[in-house]
Amino acid sequence: MSANSAVGATTDVAAAGVVSPAAARDLPVAQVLNPADTSAVVGHYVLSDAATVDAVVAHAETAGRAWGALSGTERGSWLTAAAKAVSAHEAERSTLLTREQGKVLWESEVDVHSAARALRQNAELAAHLDVESVVRDGRGTTIMRRIPMGLTAVIVPWNYPVYLTLAGVAPALAAGNAVIVKPSEFAPLAITRTLELIAAALPEGVLSVVPGDGAVAGQALVSHPLVRKVIFTGGTSTGRSIVKTAANTLKSVSLELGGNDPAIVLDSAQLDDRTIRELRRSVFTCTGQICINVKRIYVHRSRHREFVDKFSAAVDEIVVGDGLGPATTMGPLNNAKQLASVRELAEQTRSHADVRVLGRKNDPSSWDRGYFMLPSVVTGIAPGAPLVTREQFGPIIPILPFDTEDEAISQANDSEFGLAASVWSEDVDHALALARRVEAGSVFVNTHRMGSSDQSMPFGGIKQSGLGRNHGMWAIEECTELQAISHRPDTSGFPGPPTV
């Protein structure tokens, strides 16, 4: 989707962009509903088919050759200009994002603002690609350099669509690749507007978008032979499917998948207001629908009752309602399937644990029109219960006691996931030592939420939580190939008989 080759979401009810206005008019569209009021249609998105994807791929692949031929410094200048362009209309896009995604407005503002920041950060790093490593010795000269990997598909979820899209798009562009984005069907509008602004500031065809169903548009991208890299954020089962499909054409794949992220609260933790509220935000931001949110809390038995009481009191302050409501502090879940999944898990848990429903409704009269759910705190639950072993991705949190640190580490690591974790203690050195024993791609001390992992540290999962790393030069290098150029004038030492 470039400035003059794509249709954009120019109004709340416009179609999201594809390859050309003519193509957009010929394709069917689908509705985007407001999770806070499912009777309200926020907008529409185009259902891109395989033929549309093929046309976009051909156009982007051609544009990508010229983009990749630029120096990293030159691409950085383009990205800096795009960062300035995308800073426009942030308030409008934040409101739109809350209407289509459901989260409270401040969360949407953080999400939308992240686009410009990601572009600026990667613009600054792009020049590092211009530095080649040269080794000269008695045998000759070897040059090592990073080159663009090729056309890159970025497939993103609905929870933080702008942030997660730019986390893939910005480093891929900095690396010299043309990029095609497939947004989520549940939140395609604000990200499409964001991509329009970026694309308009870049060379023609370098950035495109193909909205539609994952089974059609997403599958067409992942299986296309001209796509050389796939960056996917989403569920583990879908990630496995992408790997299988990408294997047919030996694509490079980066995956940020599910997380069942533990927080370990030691007996030395300071359970003051700051800590309790920090953990509350770690659990319930975006209604619990963030991959690195805390999904289970382990508390030393000597502090368990104190923690449960203080944490429950803080959770009881949460006000659930429309994300645009000034009194709302937690919005609805994003879609009907997710609401049903979390409700079912909560009902199963009630048969074997104490589920305490907290918080209050902002506007009870509108409750039945949205995907609303009050937050819950669960105690008296077994370590092997489904709520503890699964990623709930919703506003319900189990709190379990432990007696020894070995027990806490064992239970924290007893998961197929390994995305993020946290250790909470006033003894920071001890917490850092314990963090080394946790099986997760990122382990935080006395914090655990968006912002805990920044560009100075790599981000990604181990085990079933993904492949590859994001942030900084780690992300850019994931989108490149390492090329070696060698000049060996003296071949006398090569294996085999001498050349005559």
What SS3 class is residue 440?
A: coil
Instruction: Write the CA distances from 461 to 237, 260, 355, 484, integer angstroms.
Output: 15, 11, 30, 29
- Using H for helix, E for strand and C for coil, what is the string for 405-428? HHHHHHHHHCCCEECEEEEECCCH
Cα 123 to Cα 359: distance, rounded to the nearest angstrom: 43
**Sequence-ordered alpha helix ranges (H) in 368-492:** 386-389, 405-413, 428-435, 472-478
**Sequence-ordered alpha helix ranges (H) in 224-295:** 236-247, 273-284
Instruction: Write the CA distances from 307 to 272, 319, 330, 383, integer angstroms.
Output: 10, 21, 22, 18
Cα 438 to Cα 441: distance, rounded to the nearest angstrom: 9
* Residues 103 and 286 sit within 8 Å (Cβ to Cβ): yes
Label residues 146-157 b or e (16+ Cβ within 10 Å = b): bebbbbbbbbbb
Cα 257 to Cα 461: distance, rounded to the nearest angstrom: 7
* Residues 381 and 352 sit within 8 Å (Cβ to Cβ): yes
Q: Say which DSSP state 261 is in.
A: E
Q: Residue 339 is encoded by which pair of tokens? A: 């609401």
**Of all helices (H) and strands (E), which one includes residue 485?**
strand 480-487
What is the distance between the terminal CA atoms of the chain, rounded to a whole angstrom?
57
Q: Residue 442 is encoded by which pair of tokens? A: 């990122």
Cα 445 to Cα 414: distance, rounded to the nearest angstrom: 20
* Residues 126 and 174 sit within 8 Å (Cβ to Cβ): yes
Q: Which residue out of 107, 185, 196, 256 is catalytically annotated?
A: 256
User: Is 256 a known active-site residue?
Assistant: yes
* Residues 36 and 332 sit within 8 Å (Cβ to Cβ): yes
Instruction: Write the CA distances from 97 to 108, 194, 422, integer angstroms.
Output: 6, 11, 29
| Active-site amino acid positions | 256
